[in-house]
Structure 1
Amino acid sequence: MALEAELSCPVCTELFSDPVLLSCSHSFCRQCINDHWTSSRTRTCPVCRQVSPQEPVSNLSLRNTCESYQREKNTKKEEYGGHDCPIHGEKIELFCQTDEEAICGTCKDYEHRWHKIQPLHQAVRQRKGKLKAALRPTENMLLSLRNGAAQDAKISKYNQSQAQQTERRIREEFKKLQQFLKKEEECRVAALNEEEKEKSVQMKKKMDLLSDRLQEVEERMKDDDVTFLQNYNDIMNRARYTPLDSDQSLEALIDVSKHLGNLKYQVWEKMKEICPYYPVILNPNTASSDVSMSNDLTSVTSCVKQQNEPNPLPLLRSRMVLGSVGYGSGVHTWDIEVGNSRHWSIGVCFGSVEKSIVQMLNPANPCLWGLRRNGDMYSFLNTQINFVMTKHPRVVRMKLEDCHDKKGGWWRNVSYFDADCNCLLAVTSQLPTGMELFPYVIPEKRSGPLRVVPAKVTLKIGQVEEDSSFLKRHRVLILLVVLIFLVLCVFLHRLIY
């Protein structure tokens, strides 16, 4: 503290003890200045080196100030860090294990008479031992992290690998977009230059036509007088006809609106071909090491060779790969292309990726629903029902929607369709509500890839909507509202008139 520094001796750097004042006005502890003069054999000031021929005099004011400061410091120490009982004023030397409280001897005889008591130093020793034991796992974990042997270290290494791969893929995708935009820019500039060239060619043709007309009239004017007069009217008509004036219009100018009008929207329309929208994005963190996933996270296939960097936190023992987003209430539709694969499973399940809790694949698991194909046989994962299909679908459309009965009960259904003909294949009903359901796919052994099919999208007021419009999806509700409105209007008209 600044005050304590001012009240400290320059030699010993402690609070002044019996301070004395030299003729140069500097103060020191009496013992400190005597020792200094004895060792140096000169009577100079340790601060300014000035000689002090007179004996130093006591600095009473400074001594009183130092003593007051020391008393105040001791008082604060007793108030905030002392070890006297605040009730009895005795020294605290005991610890009550019953109340977990430090006490004095009088407290033991009265307030804590029947409690379990132990010496204070013993309680401190025991609890420090417990703290050290509690810190030992943390110390071991820190040592393992520093040595790179702990699970967290493996996770950190895996995160670095994920970040590098993801960054590389991001740059690749943006490179594709940049190449597309560059090519589109060149095409549109070329179209503009081509139009400008066509306009120039048309203008040159008209100029050549006029030049020929002028040359023709000038040549006819060189005829002999009789011939000139005989052909005068015809020459005059040809001289008066100027096709440039008669044909001139806005078409002679560059159609700027064709090149700039809705330019960004037109480019976006073309970009949809290389920028598909997928209703389901698979979560690579839920994939096991024997599953290969595409760079755009929409296709998975079973692989024999494991990945170079296995997931240090495998959530599933099976090949199940979850979607990155769970679905709550409402209607949700997505298509899975299974192709000619004869072994696959698709469906929905309860799961919480954030808490690393996912239901294991089990046909009897009540929290997992789906459709499985095994050769020519099909089955539901949570039942023992097997069935066959006359036509094997190449693309399966899944529809998750809310349903209710006449008693007001709510549940969810999952319907499976053949997307090529929109024919219903199977329905899993009575799914519970209240929790999100995550889509999943399982590429079985010897199966082909399972791929999420991109959805058709339209741009409307800055929002991405599915191909089915709002009017189509809610036409019954809209008709009902309109009918109720008309009935109310008729009722009010009769009531008023």
Structure 2
Amino acid sequence: MSLPVDDLQCPVCCDFFVDPVLLSCSHSFCRECVRRCWETSGSRECPVCRKRASKAGPTTNLALRNLCETVLEARKGSLSSEKEKEELNCDLHQEKLKLFCLVDKQPICVVCHSSKTHKNHDCSTIEEAVVDCKDELSSTLVRLQQKMDNLKRIHTNSSYNIDYIKNQAVETQREIKAQFEQLHQVLHREESERLAALKQEENEKLAGMRDKISEISEEMLSLEESFSVLESELNADDMTILQNFKAIQDRCNTIPLGPVNMSGILIDVSKHLSNLKYSIWENTNDHLQYTPVTLDPNTAHPYLILSEDLTSLHYSGQSYGCPDNPERFQMSAEVVGMSALGSGSHHWTVETGSNRDWLLGVTSASAPRNADVSARPENGFWTLCYRDGELRAMASPPTPLVLTKEAPVRRIRLQLDYNRGTLCFFDCSHDDDDDTLLYTFESTFTELLLPYFYTQSHHPLRIFPESVMVTALRKEGSKQVM
């Protein structure tokens, strides 16, 4: 004889008992239900007979709990069996589902296959479809796992980037103060404004980085949910996989699996330090040194050390923990200038000194930063190379250069005429003002160019400063650069 369902239901919630407890009056309730009743009434009374319960905690009614669990499990098994029997047949024709429509991504019967809906659609057998669908879902699972691994790596690096950004701000602030100290009497106002701009950018970068971390965390949470759903579906029975396949695949296809955009996350150090003294020349009548090209530290290979004023570099042989940001060169010891070169004429001079392993020139702005490519024009590089005592123009093929003077090359001047498509290299190592043309690249430049530097020498390459004279004119308070 079966027990009435009412005897298995809590008098408070009117549902099957969950963790039932037995009071001294012999009435049973869900543990959570009786607790809420006591909290609401303020007294430990039986919700049915109002008899006061003992001070000790109510005991678990093990027999009743086991009985409820047995009945619920039996009901669940019965419902699942009935549902499975219903799902094995087509809802429209009550025929057994023997085919899988490859167009609509759903199981169908033979009558469905002959109908207008699926008549011209490619189909496969249920057995073949299960294998194919599992393979496809497994591939999707692998891609999601790769995305998750990539997000975890970026999330970890992003936390490190916050410390790096703070360190950038500290170092940049120190250099700003050092340069402003030289002209502090007349430049106090300018110094304060630039420090405020740096602080504002630091806050913006940190806020943006925190937002990026939060965004990545949310995306990771979403991926974890999709990952869990996909794993559950792969462990389900074959028919459930086929019936839910389209919905699951549509859900997975909405998840972007491309790389996370982390460009522009670092402080633009060059904006604060590049030609700092020259940029405030209106506040002084002294002669200033101007460097036509300054280096972008956010692009420097981790083994390169840049000077504080961003005008020299040398090779260290060890990494100093730079972030793996997209702008940075990762394959070899390279760095580019911060200012892109376009229409017009541009020139700068590099002092190579005792450095015997270098490449100098220009590179296109879109040249790869994380790939090992030859510094040739077809790859977006126009350079001169000095290595093993030999000077070569890195054309295709490389062209050895014969020096007309016995003294080694110690200073190179680069002259870029963007509109004419020429890049000239001059040897200006000597004091006789007799600059010697070493080589001329001729090309049709189609995008912005960046000054390019490479070295694996501990001896520095230094961008030579130029003297600029600032003279005040009386006409309407204007000034002229001479």
Q: Give the TM-score taking structure 1 as reference length.
A: 0.47
Higher relative contact order (CA 8 A, sep 6+): 2
User: Which one has the largest radius of gyration?
Assistant: 1
